[in-house]
Structure 1
Amino acid sequence: MSDHRGPAAVSPALFGVGGDWLPVTAGESGASVFRAADATRYAKCVPAADAAGLEAERDRIAWLSGQGVPGPRVLDWYAGDAGACLVTAAVSGVPADRL
């Protein structure tokens, strides 16, 4: 996946996702990750070359949720020629990169 600081960076605005978004620079994801200014949502965006991987992540999240496993809830999914963007609900607790 592309580094969010690289030339292939994508953002929620590219997909028409409304709201104010702040880049998340901590963590291990190679995708472009953003937190909504109101801290209720996260958006993970990737260029078209990485869209299949993000789609698979979306499907795993939905499956886990259906099994009763706590985690983020998928709120929206956008995919097109520019790439893909997965929007999930924020989860309460301590971010994994702070453990």
Structure 2
Amino acid sequence: MAIDSFTGRAILEPHYLYRMKGGRQMPVVTVQTVGGISNEKKEELMDRITQAMKEVLGKNPEATHVIIEEVPAENWGIRGKTVAAIRSGK
């Protein structure tokens, strides 16, 4: 998921990496986030993204892939500091 630098809003942009029989494309949505999300929250996020792809773009939920990439807090920076440092109050 990318962020629009003008509006600051998240951009949900499916990537079509796979093709089904008959040449139809299977959307793949990748979400990058700082680690530490529970399995329950990941499943909820995957479900909501899948439903949004169906409602907004008319994509088949059976063919929609959602990938969550968790990045360690010490490897993600914002405002010139790592998220780990910000969380620890440094």
Given the two structures, how large is their TM-score scaled by the length of structure 2?
Answer: 0.29
Question: Which has the larger strand fraction?
Answer: 2
Q: Which has the larger radius of gyration?
A: 2
Question: Which has the larger helix fraction?
Answer: 2
Given the two structures, how large is their TM-score scaled by the length of structure 1?
Answer: 0.27
